[in-house]
Amino acid sequence: MLRGHVDGVTHSHVWGWAADTSAPDSTVQVSIFVDGRKVAQTECNTLREDLKSKGFGDGRHGFRYDFPNKLDESSNKRLAVRFADTGLPLGNGEVILSKGRVSSLPVPDPERAKELMRLPAPENQREFFDLLALLDPEYGIYQLIRRFDFEGWTAGQASIAAFGKLVDIEPGAAGQSSSDIADYFNDLLFSDEFQRSIIPSLLHAYADKRRLLFVHIPKCAGSDLSRNLRTRYPSLDQRVMEPEWTDKEELFKELREFVELTRFSDTICLRGHIGLDYYIKNELIRPSDSVFSIMRDPIEIALSAVNYVMTRIRRDFEQQRLDPDTKKWLNLLGIAAIPNQVNDDFAAQVCLKALYNQNIVIPNSMCHWLGGGNAQAVVERLAKQRVELTDTARYNSWLFDRWGISSATRQNESIKYMTVGTLKPAEREYLAEISGEDLKLYAALQRGLAASGRSSVTGHELLAG
């Protein structure tokens, strides 16, 4: 019987002991994981007199592992020490390191783990995604992986199950035992490459499902539409692909919920800031799918972007935290830190800087997200891809006509620090200059909507008009 315990953890090292009571003089190996990924496998062969006196053979069952590089102390770290053969954690073997403090996490009951049914290892991505319905979020993805029967498997087979294709495998990255393959498969799933490709992977795996592909142009009622659609269809937000926003444990929880809901729907919805180019380059648009977008007066988009940035900065100041995008905006604006007081003068300075920062107020934002460069090229692309379009003025009508949803809410609304009425002549001229193609595109949409008399038009109708 395997027994063991983690006696201590710091950002520099971890130590403890592990032994097999049925073979007290044998050497047990443990695997060490940081934030889900295996970083080491080490033998427990250091002499511990306390273990010897307790009858654990010759007492050579201790271990200490020093991390090659001290763990980053600026963020929480999840550390696990598991028996290499079984994948089960040692006593106190699942912890969170936070600012020098160690908090134990729940671990699965070893006897219960033995009773769980062994599962055939997934031979492709679809099989793996379907198996995520069995994930217990409390214990994490690794405990599910250890139920898979990898006997006789190769690293190549594991890469196909994770990525749908063979990936380059470093020599020695994966051994030949089923435990080695399980650890290697776990490392693939915890890689940023897996996360950044998750949406195309899911769509290709569930190719039998119809796709609702939303091109979310920022500040064009997209957050409200996403909130409404996610209550009707299995959906994923583009941020699940970004490690900066979604950690790995949260990613698998999101995937579990998605695959469970997908069993009861013939449709998949994608939301978040995904440009039309992304859908096209990844060959995600099929004739049976729906592609749609919402547009808005370009000057209003620019002002809304400015107001949103300042609103988020104020919110993060009040909550005493900085989200990743707030940190990015502060960096772009040359602001080292939020001051002790966010007053009107500070807000005015931030808004003016943001207005002229083209990484925040993107020139021709609608053309940027819809692709094509200029208005005419965008219209041609919209026609070719059969994109359905509405504007924010007709949004509520379209929401009801297209989706049968009655709503007058607005998600993600900002404080109105800047408005069209407060713009100075030079600021108006600047915005008109950087929005020239968007103004043409928006005018074409207005003509098309007026001519159709409906709450939306297709790209083909804009091209024909």
Q: What is the pLDDT of residue 10?
A: 92
Q: Which of 364, 394, 219 is nearest to 304 (CA)?
A: 219
pLDDT at 435 over 70: yes
Whether residue 155 has pLDDT greater than 80 = yes
pTM: 0.86
Instruction: Note the pLDDT tens digit of each residue in 373-383.
Output: 899 999 999 99
pLDDT of residue 173: 59
Q: What are the structural domains of the chain?
A: 1-109 (2.60.40), 198-298+364-464 (no CATH)
Task: Specify the pairing of strand 89-98 against strand 101-104.
Answer: antiparallel
Alpha helices in 168-289 (DSSP H): 178-189, 192-196, 198-205, 222-229, 248-262, 276-281
pLDDT by residue (tens digit) across 290-314?
A: 999 999 999 999 999 999 999 999 8
Q: Give 26-52 pLDDT, tens digit per residue.
A: 999 999 999 999 999 999 999 999 999
Return the closest-CA partner of residue 98 out of 124, 127, 77, 72. 77
In which element (H, E) is residue 366 found?
A: helix 365-370
